[in-house]
Amino acid sequence: MILQSLSLLNYKNFETESFELDPKINCFVGNNGVGKTNVLDAVYHLSFGKSYFNPITSQNIKHGEEFFVVEGTYEKNDRAEKIVVSAKKNQKKIIKRNGKPYEKFSEHIGFLPLVIISPADRDLIIEGSDTRRKFMDGVISQGDSSYLRTLINYNKTLAQRNSLLKYFAANSTFNQDTLEIYNAQLNEYGSIIYQKRSEFLDIFMPIFKKRYVSISNGNEEVSLIYKSQLQDENLLTLLQNNLGKDKITQYTNFGIHKDDLLFEIDGHPIKKFGSQGQQKSYLIALKLAQFDFIKDQSGVLPILLLDDIFDKLDEERVEQIITLVDDENFGQLFISDTHADRTEAVVRKVHQTYKMFRL
């Protein structure tokens, strides 16, 4: 799968801009703030229907404008695919494939697999469990559309159950039958998600470990540990047994929305005990493992976005990663960096075509 051309209209700091892309390596270079990351984010937008960096749609529209359009022409399985994402202020975003709007955006997820490596990934280590669940969900969803549908259904039911708990707090009563329906639905969807997350981790863990060994020079042991309340008890029982607590907090305290993925190094949390270098290697290994996993699941080579890669790694490691595109197992690569010379010196060593875009 190759992104052949990209055009932007009123997208973040760009008024109109278009790029004819190289099938292998595309480098966006320029000073701080010129919009290098925004170009990569536009490519991300075409795959996921949203920004990686700013999920508030209206804030992706150029200041002072009313709408944005991002358009990409791809070649996938020898077919041309045109994807257009557009958003107007105060209106629902539209994603079209070959002129036809998607009714549900979830149907588009996974069609154009993509992995991004960015300095913003450090949130995975420092932020709460929510970011790590999103990572896990993102990886699984790109290869399994039924997973995403189940997750959307789970979240809808969860919101309904929480509303019921709030209603109870205000009125001291609620419909027991309705609660039982919500409990049964959460149990059904939640059990599927728990099962799929567990299976995912079993496959993902060895891939991740292999990637970590290949990019770090150390011999520390890394692991990813899936934590879920459903490991001790089925969800239906948890919901029934903890209704008292839920009534007090007006919130559902048990379920897969409380899952976490623990990042460990030599048996300790990497957040507290990993060096800066180890944390960077850990995150890159995680993302490269995501690449491997999606490729194995979907049979398609994901697009790889390397945002501000020198921020994360020294030149030798960057070279090592970029050399991966030499391997037939890698597809198209997008790189952003402030230093044109540094980037070009590295990509030149790879025996692939490349284009430099100076912004």
Ligand X SMILES: Nc1ncnc2c1ncn2[C@@H]1O[C@H](COP(=O)(O)OP(=O)(O)OP(=O)(O)O)[C@@H](O)[C@H]1O
Interface with ligand X by CB under 6 A: which residues? 12-13, 30, 32-38, 59-63, 308, 336, 338
Q: How far is CA 247 from CA 72, 190, 234, 251, in A?
A: 49, 20, 20, 7
User: What is the C-alpha to C-alpha distance for residues 140 and 297, in angstroms, rounded to an integer?
Assistant: 9
Strands 114-117 and 303-307: parallel
**d(C-alpha 45, C-alpha 16), whole Å:** 17
Q: Taking the complex as a whole, how short is the minimal distance between the CB of residue 27 and ligand X, in angstroms? A: 12
Minimum CB separation from ligand X for residue 298, in Å?
Answer: 28
Q: Minimum Å distance from CB 63 to ligand X? A: 4
CA distance 32 to 119: 14
Helices (H), 26-175: 36-48, 123-126, 129-143, 145-171
By beta-carbon proximity to ligand X, the closer residue of 32 and 217 is: 32
- Cβ proximity to ligand X: between 72 and 143 the closer is 72
Contact predicate 142/47, CB 8 Å? no
Nearer residue to ligand X within complex by CB, 147 or 357: 357
Tell me the residue type at 329. N
What are the residues whose beta carbons fall under 8 Å from the beta carbon of 157, sequence distance 6 or more? 182, 185, 186, 189
Choose between 270 and 306: whose C-beta lies nearer to ligand X: 306
Q: Which is nearer to ligand X, 48 or 111 (CB)?
A: 48
Nearest distance, CB of residue 50 and ligand X, angstroms: 14
Which residues are documented as binding site for ATP?
30-37
**Smallest gap, in angstroms, from Cβ of residue 194 to ligand X?**
37
The string of DSSP codes covering 39-76 is: HHHHHHHHHHSS-SS---GGGGBPTT-SEEEEEEEEEE
Rounded least distance, CB 65 to ligand X, Å: 8
Binding residues: 30-37
Interatomic CA distance for residues 134 and 141, integer angstroms: 10
CB of 359 vs ligand X, minimal distance in Å: 7
In the bound state with ligand X, the residue whose beta carbon lies nearer, of 58 and 352, is 58
| CB neighbourhood size of 34 (10 A) | 16
CB nearer to ligand X: pick between 158 and 318: 318
